[in-house]
Amino acid sequence: MSRNVGEPSPEIRMYRDGIEVWQLSKRTTNSSGGRESEAYAVRNSYDAVGTFQRVSVEPLAVPPWADEQVRIHTGTTLLGDFGSFDAILMRHHDYLGEPSYEWIRY
């Protein structure tokens, strides 16, 4: 099978397509008006032609696997009423397609 010069191999595309980096942020504050929470999510990933893209995502649209990682590492969810954090969450897949996660709190 031939491919265009500069075009990545199918193996490289498989690894590239399996990488997602999320920037997640949540702030919960208490005031006389009650508790307020704000959450932000930005998804970074490669598009079909290999360009790294950065896209803001509504917290309600964050995939379940990402919110599960938030719960594991913070004890709350992105949309929950408690907790404050800033973190980078990376999901990548191995050669068998199995996901791995890296959580970096900052």
1 pLDDT exceeds 70? Answer: no
Split at pLDDT 50, 70, 90, the class of 16 is confident
When pLDDT is averaged across residues 55-84 and rounded to a whole number, the result is 95
Q: What is the pLDDT of residue 77?
A: 93
Beta-bridge partners for 91 = 20, 101
More confident residue, 42 or 34: 42
Q: What is the pLDDT of residue 96?
A: 85
56 vs 65: CA distance, rounded Å: 17
Terminal CA-to-CA distance of the chain, rounded, Å? 45
